[in-house]
Amino acid sequence: MGNPKYKNGFEFTIHPDALDLPLKWKESKKIFVDSMSDLFHESMPEYYIGMCFDVMKLADWHIFQILTKRPMRMLEFSKKYGEIPPHIWLGTSVELPIYRHRIDTLRKVDVGIRFISFEPLLGSLGQLDLRGISWAITGGESGPNHRPFKVDWVREIRDQCVRQHVSFFFKQWGGITPKAGGRELDGREWNEYPVSIKPMTINV
């Protein structure tokens, strides 16, 4: 990719030299942490997760979003770490019904903002219990091998978010490229956030 951080390809790698970057960004940002990885990956040392959280606590003028497919490890860590400030948001991915149990695990994490990424959404998820969830993001898969994405799957989630008072964000229809299908759902874009912040995201 031409980026020195990917000299090992997608082999799991930590980058201690990048830890203090958020402290250098004086303008408030919304930061998607480990956008190409998972902070709670089984190969991630627990001490390093703690170091990341320590930096995020200090950089309280930013919003940090942490998404994982391993909410059980997130829950275990949060119990040991202690209070997580409101500018750190914790979420989990749910792509298919077999992963709905992750929502129940996330709900046990003691944090102000919990969010679910239903992306890439790969099927109907049926009835969802969104108690304690602040935000839902959904979207279709992109790339040359993208899988089918049906409007009824998205409406099913959106309608449940509306009924259960959960902020809803529709990211993309997907396709060959992320922007191929646009972002409109039933004649409008859905850009809801759990709190009033400037919707600017950087990936680290």
pLDDT tens, residue order, the chain (204 aa): 567 776 777 778 888 988 999 999 999 999 999 888 899 999 999 999 999 999 999 999 999 999 999 999 999 999 999 999 999 999 999 999 999 999 999 999 999 999 999 999 999 999 999 999 999 999 999 999 999 999 999 999 999 999 999 999 999 999 999 889 999 999 999 999 996 444 444 454
Give domain status of residue 14, yes or no: no
Question: Which residues span the domain enclosing 99?
Answer: 27-203
Confidence at residue 198, expressed as pLDDT on a 0 to 100 scale: 40
Give domain status of residue 17, yes or no: no
Q: Of 84, 132, 139, 79, give the one whose Cα is nearest residue 106.
A: 132
Confidence at residue 1, expressed as pLDDT on a 0 to 100 scale: 55
- The CB-side HSE value for 107 (13 A sphere, CA atoms) comes to 11
Give domain status of residue 13, yes or no: no
Give domain status of residue 171, yes or no: yes
Give domain status of residue 180, yes or no: yes
Give domain status of residue 118, yes or no: yes
Confidence at residue 202, expressed as pLDDT on a 0 to 100 scale: 43
Number of domains present in the structure of the chain: 1
Give domain status of residue 152, yes or no: yes
